[in-house]
A and B are shown apart, each in its own frame.
Chain A
């Protein structure tokens, strides 16, 4: 059995008297898509924030490729190859597609001007286009402003950006929200491409048919605890829903 690429062991997160996560353990293997599901308030968002470095767990361990990590910031997790697409963050609409793809990782021109931070814009335009194509997204022109794109195109760019940069793990928080059926299908296809590239994918969604379609394994959170962690083939939409709501318990 290969080693998990990303793992949390017995992590808890308390906000004052409130326990948002209670002794959660889960593993993610390379080339695997794990669905993270649970009702509102089950602790999905808190777990995502611990995994992406926004919050530090109160207790427990986070391991990347077997090495214990204490993320001090999302930036640190990013630098170690963990990309997170937050539900509410999205893109900067005034900037171009390429500028968004390279946001925070801008490439500069060579020489002294580059040291002063001057951008190699043409190079980034070309590379952004190539990278998005590589992960299966057909974006018209990478120098167009994001505000000119449709909602589905924007989401595709946001996911494409995360997949293109992710070196190890990609965490997608509700990526198919507010999307039409065809666009959601495209997003799921991108997730499959990411899996084929050997990335570990954590897919958080309320849309259970999407979870059933794209994941290999499902972790169900309920009131801050993992109540079920099993291969997707062991679930149907009905039993999954029952597990989430607590009607079905093992």
Chain B
């Protein structure tokens, strides 16, 4: 077989033609364009804002990456994020009123947020594995229930009453980077390791690539599905805590529509909704491109209502380019 082409040039070629590299160039191009329109864009404070938007988005987009790679979809991540933030806010308020130390109450609040997310993931799993709903419908049910509960619990207004340390934590101190952003970056690395280097990640890919082969290899599809959706819920819960820290309260509107931006980030990052492909690095860059665009449009003075249209164009462009590259890859 004549597959033994020299390794070095093909490595360089595959690096340059790889999705992440293209996304990185797109990101740099956007930063350049926005800066050309308005010099203010290239500043630490704007970068801080972009990252503050990026944090919760990338958390739910990471969740969505695992789910989409496995061939599923999780529409509930946005409202689970909202509900977690609200329940976490109640817990933090109660703990603060009970006289607990501020950072400890925030830490326990974070665990509550993640716990609520896990419960939502368990419910999604039960609906998929036992009620035999397709993931789209199962998570649509959870989306509605979680969004509704968040409104019922709060009566529509934000839940404050936590320690003032919450907002202080969200202030950037390392250039544009705040403590929650550092935690999010660590979570990105952990997700990368588990999706690309672990058995759990391997089975997530095989499930999305060919469920029949996966079952034939002796892997329990029900268990793998459960792990994926619970992880997705946990990350959505973490996003809820991120919003809480940023706002200093749990708002019933914080994660509204976030699931669509998460799916957009994953798709822009190179994943296919039919499962089996997608990378954490793509998702991280996809989320960064989305938040850069939305911040950039505001700074250069475009009507914010154009935001959704621009996001739509980005998705269309990303998917089209992927399709072209895929068919090219098959031809060669």
Residues of A within 8 A of B (CB): 73-75, 78-79, 84, 86, 88-95, 99-100, 103-106, 108, 116-119, 121, 138, 140-141, 144
Contact = CB atoms under 8 A, between A and B. Distances in A.
B198 A119 contact: yes
B1 A138 contact: yes
Contact of B210 (A90, A104, A138): A90
Contacts of B198: 116-119
B11 interface: no
Contact of A103 (B3, B194, B219): B219
A78 B1 CA distance: 33
Contact of B213 (A89, A106, A138): A89
Interface stretch (B27-35, B50-58, B150-158, B201-209): B201-209
Nearest to A88: B212
Nearest to A102: B202
Nearest to B3: A140
What is the predominant secondary structure among interface residues of chain A facing chain B?
loop
A84 B216 contact: yes
Contact of A90 (B194, B202, B213): B213
Contact of A118 (B197, B205, B218, B277): B197
19 contacts: A74-B216, A74-B218, A89-B210, A89-B212, A89-B213, A89-B215, A90-B212, A92-B205, A92-B276, A99-B202, A99-B205, A103-B202, A103-B219, A104-B218, A104-B219, A108-B199, A117-B199, A118-B193, A119-B197
Contact of A92 (B1, B3, B194, B210): B210
Contacts of B203: 104
B211 to A, nearest CB: 9
B217 A104 contact: yes
B178 interface: no
B189 interface: no
B107 interface: no
Given A105-B217, A121-B197, 20 more contacts: A74-B216, A75-B218, A78-B218, A86-B212, A86-B216, A90-B213, A92-B210, A93-B210, A94-B209, A94-B276, A95-B202, A103-B206, A103-B213, A104-B217, A105-B218, A117-B199, A117-B200, A119-B199, A138-B1, A144-B3
Contacts of A79: 218
Contacts of B96: none
Contact of B209 (A74, A84, A86, A92): A92
Contacts of B218: 73-75, 78-79, 104-105
B144 to A, nearest CB: 32
Contacts of B277: 94
Contacts of A121: 197
B199 A95 contact: no
A91 B210 contact: yes
Contacts of B220: 75
B193, B209, B277 — most chain A CB neighbours (10 Å):
B209
B203 to A, nearest CB: 8
A103 B199 contact: no
A92 B206 contact: yes
Contacts of A119: 197-199, 202
B214 interface: yes
Which of A79, A91, A94 is the most central at the interface, judged by chain B CB atoms within 10 Å of its CB?
A94
Nearest to A165: B217
Given A117-B198, A140-B1, A95 B206 contact: yes
Interface string B212-238: 111111111000000000000000000
Contact of B216 (A89, A94, A106, A144): A89
Contacts of A106: 199, 202
A110 B265 CA distance: 35
Contacts of A84: 216
Nearest to B219: A104
Contacts of B3: 140-141, 144
Contacts of A116: 198
A174 to B, nearest CB: 14
B252 to A, nearest CB: 37
Nearest to B330: A147
Given A89-B212, A89-B216, A118-B193, A94 B202 contact: no
Contacts of B205: 92, 94-95, 99
A119 B195 CA distance: 11
Interface in B251-307: 276-277
Nearest to A109: B197
A131 B100 CA distance: 60
A108 B212 CA distance: 24
Select the residue from B194, B197, B218 with max chain A CB neighbours within 10 A.
B218
B41 to A, nearest CB: 38
A144 B197 CA distance: 16
